[in-house]
């Protein structure tokens, strides 16, 4: 998509806020000026207004030891109390917090009072299992209310959650359990996906036995929610049913205040090496930005809106814009267990009609998929309740943006394209509805209180009408506080490119108005359907297969998913054999082997990492110093003419590869 930037910049459609929207808009233009005067003071003001502090803070930002920021450090709060109890105490206990919709069509609702009661019970269960402040709890659940309840229960007692997306494999789960040294795993027997029960507990069982008795895990208990109804194996003493524990739980639990910098969660994300990074977020600053952005970017009117983010809790969007932002703001929201096409392709639109959803936050890849399926599907449903649409996870092309507004938003709703990352914790760049004149395809402007720059290689701002690297030039409240257990990697990864500034890994261009257009990753991180994957992680999975001698993975552009994983591998004649096979060797069934390797990656990392294509090749293009030239492989994968090959050690190699692939 980045290749089309010149076309994008010719996009001239503009959508000014309507008067009626403006009349009741939450965000106002003066926020920018107020923030610019003194950013930390602005965040302090927002924090006091949006959150309840048991002990008010007297300082805002402490940046005396960069890049290790402390926000509101002498204040104390309880994150779960902010998301639950205080709404009940304010008289809003009867307001719906969650409308949960299961994939098969079963459903449940939780008011704020009910959700608070459930979280209190879950918190006392955690305490009775010996979980205390600072302990890590892995959560491996489908999109069911217990996912939200578990996260809040962990937060309530000052422990740290590490949610692992249910699509990850047993091995990926174990790597995350080990890295964080989790004492407890909360999982389910299974959940509904694509019309059937997809099991989860067996993956937990497998993950905990990886490496045998010599490799015991730190996990003491596995708490299992009954959802799928599938049979599961049981380890007595270790495994416990959630419903049994909850039935016996203490019902009262008073939330204790914790210092603002108390760790709240670790969320693993792919980086440029094979090992995922445990991104660490803390409490007060994170919750401040979560609440501020959720309120202002989504124009939240908590008394009347029904908000729906389609993200899974396994990703950062599910943390900030399903759990913490909406609940801190006392919003009513929908959560949905399943996939958009089960049992039919109108499932999302049916849910919007059923609950009268007013605000929808979704990913471009889904929007492009619906666009392909055609407007007759959403047209069958009443979507007139919608008044605001959001997009996240990857650049949204102007065509998809306009389709989203016209077909889903009835031609009237603002569409906010929100740029941010697991590391930033909350939205950083987005239009403010009611304030900003919208430009399809551009994420537009830094939010009030956020300082974004686009720099050239020397660290100089590029100015309008030019492209460069996107950085955050000043600390912000929801910023990551580190990589779990690896401060050096934290500094090296984010803070060493430009002194004192956070380098996000994305390229961006400023148009002639100074609005930001995202150009995608500039490193070896791919973005497939809005999910981050590392080329190195998939390569190391491929070479762990006994037949693979060498592998190179690229993200090739894909019309629907943004990017797709394409692998080029050199294979051996037999397991461990030295003889390398050429692509046209008749003794090897290359298509069967390619299928096997695709499956191998899916089982090692998870189905989201399964390569779209695996090409068996005889050589990989390398520079004289041995670095694989992924740029050339991307040319092949995208069916383009091969670019400049003069720095290749062997200039013949590309014609051999294109011969094989083409």
613: β partners:
566
CA distances from 522 to 96, 99, 468, 626 (A): 42, 39, 10, 20
> H or E segment at 657?
helix 653-661
- The answer to the question of residue 443 lying near ligand WTA (CB under 6 A) is yes
The nearest distance, CB 405 to ligand WTA, in angstroms, is 15
The nearest distance, CB 266 to ligand WTA, in angstroms, is 14
Decide whether 416 or 435 has the Cβ nearer to ligand WTA.
Answer: 416
Task: Please choose, out of 12-20, 111-119, 367-375, 516-524, the segment that lies near ligand WTA by the rule CB under 6 A.
Answer: 516-524
CB 259 within 8 A of CB 79: no
Decide whether 175 or 581 has the Cβ nearer to ligand WTA.
Answer: 175
Range 70-99, binding ligand WTA (CB under 6 A)? none
The nearest distance, CB 631 to ligand WTA, in angstroms, is 18
Instruction: Report the candidate in 399, 377, 398, 267 with the shortest Cα–Cα distance to residue 320.
Output: 267
Task: Please choose, out of 8-16, 332-340, 391-399, 432-440, the segment that lies near ligand WTA by the rule CB under 6 A.
Answer: 391-399
Task: Please choose, out of 91-99, 161-169, 309-317, 542-550, the segment that lies near ligand WTA by the rule CB under 6 A.
Answer: 309-317
The nearest distance, CB 562 to ligand WTA, in angstroms, is 9
For ligand WTA, the binding residue among 394, 511, 524, 537 (CB under 6 A) is 394
Burial of 587 (0-12, 13-18, 19+ CB in 10 A): exposed
For ligand WTA, the binding residue among 150, 172, 217, 527 (CB under 6 A) is 527
Distance CA 598, CA 615 (A): 10
With a CB cutoff of 8 Å and minimum separation 6, the contacts of 37 are: none
Buried b / exposed e over 480-501, threshold 16 CB at 10 Å, is bbbbbebeebbeebbbebbeeb
The nearest distance, CB 403 to ligand WTA, in angstroms, is 16
- The answer to the question of residue 395 lying near ligand WTA (CB under 6 A) is yes
Count of H-run helices and E-run strands, the chain: 23, 30
Site string for ligand WTA, 461-500 (x = CB under 6 A): ----------------------------------------
- The answer to the question of residue 532 lying near ligand WTA (CB under 6 A) is yes
With a CB cutoff of 8 Å and minimum separation 6, the contacts of 536 are: 272, 273, 274, 524
CB neighbourhood size of 361 (10 A): 24
Site size for ligand WTA, by CB under 6 A? 23
The nearest distance, CB 269 to ligand WTA, in angstroms, is 5
For ligand WTA, the binding residue among 420, 484, 490, 503 (CB under 6 A) is 420
Range 256-275, binding ligand WTA (CB under 6 A)? 269
In the structure encoding, which two tokens stand for residue 478, read together?
A: 């929801």
Task: Please choose, out of 215-223, 254-262, 387-395, 606-614, the segment that lies near ligand WTA by the rule CB under 6 A.
Answer: 387-395
For ligand WTA, the binding residue among 227, 405, 521, 598 (CB under 6 A) is 521
- The answer to the question of residue 432 lying near ligand WTA (CB under 6 A) is no
Task: Please choose, out of 160-168, 328-336, 519-527, 600-608, the segment that lies near ligand WTA by the rule CB under 6 A.
Answer: 519-527
Distance CA 522, CA 486 (A): 23
- What is the helix, strand, coil percentage profile of the chain, to 5? 35, 25, 45
Number of residues assigned to the chain: 662
Half-sphere exposure of 541 (CA within 13 A, CB side): 28
Distance CA 266, CA 182 (A): 11
For ligand WTA, the binding residue among 124, 150, 262, 421 (CB under 6 A) is 421
For ligand WTA, the binding residue among 1, 518, 601, 605 (CB under 6 A) is 518
For ligand WTA, the binding residue among 316, 605, 636, 653 (CB under 6 A) is 316
Distance CA 280, CA 282 (A): 7
SS (H, E, C) 125-189: HHHHCCCCCCCEEEEECCCCHHHHHHHHHHHHCCCEEEECCCCECHHHHHHHHHHHCCCEEEEEC
Task: Please choose, out of 47-55, 65-73, 418-426, 447-455, the segment that lies near ligand WTA by the rule CB under 6 A.
Answer: 418-426
For ligand WTA, the binding residue among 11, 239, 337, 417 (CB under 6 A) is 417
- The answer to the question of residue 317 lying near ligand WTA (CB under 6 A) is yes
CB neighbourhood size of 645 (10 A): 17
Instruction: Report the candidate in 583, 489, 654, 399 with the shortest Cα–Cα distance to residue 67.
Output: 489
Range 97-116, binding ligand WTA (CB under 6 A)? none
Task: Please choose, out of 314-322, 342-350, 536-544, 624-632, the segment that lies near ligand WTA by the rule CB under 6 A.
Answer: 314-322
- The answer to the question of residue 249 lying near ligand WTA (CB under 6 A) is no
- The answer to the question of residue 392 lying near ligand WTA (CB under 6 A) is yes
Instruction: Report the candidate in 260, 254, 251 with the shortest Cα–Cα distance to residue 52.
Output: 260
Decide whether 421 or 436 has the Cβ nearer to ligand WTA.
Answer: 421
- The answer to the question of residue 207 lying near ligand WTA (CB under 6 A) is no
- The answer to the question of residue 165 lying near ligand WTA (CB under 6 A) is no
The nearest distance, CB 506 to ligand WTA, in angstroms, is 5
- The answer to the question of residue 293 lying near ligand WTA (CB under 6 A) is no
The nearest distance, CB 504 to ligand WTA, in angstroms, is 6
CB 440 within 8 A of CB 13: yes
- The answer to the question of residue 289 lying near ligand WTA (CB under 6 A) is no
The nearest distance, CB 363 to ligand WTA, in angstroms, is 9
Instruction: Report the candidate in 284, 324, 323, 319 with the shortest Cα–Cα distance to residue 69.
Output: 284
The nearest distance, CB 1 to ligand WTA, in angstroms, is 9
In the structure encoding, which two tokens stand for residue 60, read together?
A: 């805002």
- The answer to the question of residue 444 lying near ligand WTA (CB under 6 A) is no
The set of long-range contacts for 233-237, using a CB threshold of 8 Å and a minimum separation of 24, is 233/201, 233/202, 233/205, 235/205
- The answer to the question of residue 505 lying near ligand WTA (CB under 6 A) is yes
The nearest distance, CB 453 to ligand WTA, in angstroms, is 16
Site string for ligand WTA, 580-599 (x = CB under 6 A): --------------------
Distance between start and end Cα atoms, the chain:
22
- The answer to the question of residue 402 lying near ligand WTA (CB under 6 A) is no
- How does strand 221-225 pair with strand 239-241? parallel
Distance CA 560, CA 558 (A): 6
CB 420 within 8 A of CB 496: no
- The answer to the question of residue 418 lying near ligand WTA (CB under 6 A) is yes
Residues that bind ligand WTA (CB under 6 A): 269, 315-317, 392-395, 417-422, 443, 504-506, 518, 520-521, 527, 532
């Amino acid at each position: 998509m980045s290749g089309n930037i010149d076309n994008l910049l010719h996009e001239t459609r503009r959508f000014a806020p309507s008067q009626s929207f403006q009349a009741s808009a939450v965000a106002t233009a003066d926020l920018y000026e107020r923030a610019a005067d003194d950013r930390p003071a602005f965040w302090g003001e927002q924090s006091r207004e949006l959150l309840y502090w048991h002990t008010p803070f007297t300082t805002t930002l402490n940046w005396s030891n960069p890049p290790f920021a402390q926000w509101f450090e002498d204040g104390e709060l309880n994150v779960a109390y902010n998301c639950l109890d205080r709404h009940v105490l304010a008289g809003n206990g009867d307001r719906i917090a969650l409308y949960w919709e299961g994939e098969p069509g079963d459903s449940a609702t939780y008011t704020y009072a009910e959700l608070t009661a459930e979280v209190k019970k879950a918190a006392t269960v955690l305490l009775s299992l010996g979980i205390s402040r600072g302990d890590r709890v892995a959560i491996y659940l489908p999109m069911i209310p217990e996912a939200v309840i578990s996260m809040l229960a962990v937060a309530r007692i000052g422990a740290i959650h590490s949610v692992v997306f249910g699509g990850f494999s047993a091995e990926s789960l174990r790597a995350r359990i080990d890295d964080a040294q989790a004492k407890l795993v909360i999982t389910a027997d299974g959940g509904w996906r694509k019309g059937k029960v997809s099991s989860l507990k067996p993956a937990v069982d497998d993950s905990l036995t990886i490496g045998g008795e010599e490799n015991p895990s730190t996990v003491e208990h596995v708490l299992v929610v009954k959802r799928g109804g599938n049979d599961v194996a049981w380890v007595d003493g270790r495994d416990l049913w959630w419903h049994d524990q909850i039935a016996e739980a203490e019902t009262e639990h008073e939330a204790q205040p914790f210092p603002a910098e108390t760790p709240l969660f670790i969320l693993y994300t792919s980086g440029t090496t094979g090992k995922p990074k445990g991104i660490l977020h803390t409490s007060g600053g994170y919750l401040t930005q979560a609440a501020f952005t959720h309120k202002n970017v989504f124009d939240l009117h908590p008394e009347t809106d029904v908000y729906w983010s389609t993200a899974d809790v396994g990703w950062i969007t599910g943390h900030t814009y399903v759990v913490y932002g909406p609940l801190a703001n006392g919003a009513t929201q929908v959560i949905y267990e399943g996939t958009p096409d089960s049992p039919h392709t109108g499932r999302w639109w049916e849910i919007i009609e059923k609950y009268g959803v007013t605000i929808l936050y979704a990913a471009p890849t889904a929007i492009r998929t619906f666009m392909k399926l055609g407007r007759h599907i959403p047209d069958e449903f009443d979507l007139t309740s919608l008044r605001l649409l959001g997009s996240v996870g990857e650049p949204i092309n102007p065509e998809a943006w306009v389709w989203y507004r016209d077909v889903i938003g009835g031609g009237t709703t603002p569409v906010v394209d929100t740029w941010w990352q697991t590391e930033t914790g909350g939205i950083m760049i987005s239009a403010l509805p009611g304030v900003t004149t919208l430009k399809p395809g551009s994420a537009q402007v830094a939010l009030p209180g956020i300082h974004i720059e686009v720099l050239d290689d020397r660290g100089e701002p590029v100015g309008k009408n030019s492209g460069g690297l996107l950085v955050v030039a000043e600390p912000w409240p929801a910023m990551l506080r580190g990589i779990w257990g690896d401060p050096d990697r934290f500094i090296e990864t984010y803070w060493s490119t430009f002194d004192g500034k956070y380098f996000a890994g994305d390229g961006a261009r400023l148009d002639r108005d100074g609005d930001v257009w995202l150009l995608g990753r500039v490193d070896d991180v791919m973005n497939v359907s809005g999910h981050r994957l590392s080329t190195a992680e998939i390569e190391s999975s491929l070479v762990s297969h006994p037949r693979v001698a060498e592998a190179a993975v690229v993200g090739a552009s894909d019309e629907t998913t943004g990017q797709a994983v394409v692998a080029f591998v050199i294979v051996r004649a037999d397991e461990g054999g030295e003889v390398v096979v050429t692509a046209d060797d008749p003794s090897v069934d290359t298509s069967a082997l390619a299928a096997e390797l695709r499956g191998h990656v899916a089982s090692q990392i998870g189905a989201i990492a399964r390569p779209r294509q695996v090409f068996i090749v005889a050589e990989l293009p390398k520079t004289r110093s041995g670095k694989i030239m992924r740029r050339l492989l991307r040319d092949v994968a995208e069916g383009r003419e091969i670019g400049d090959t003069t720095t290749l050690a062997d200039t013949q190699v590309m014609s051999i590869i294109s011969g094989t692939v083409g």
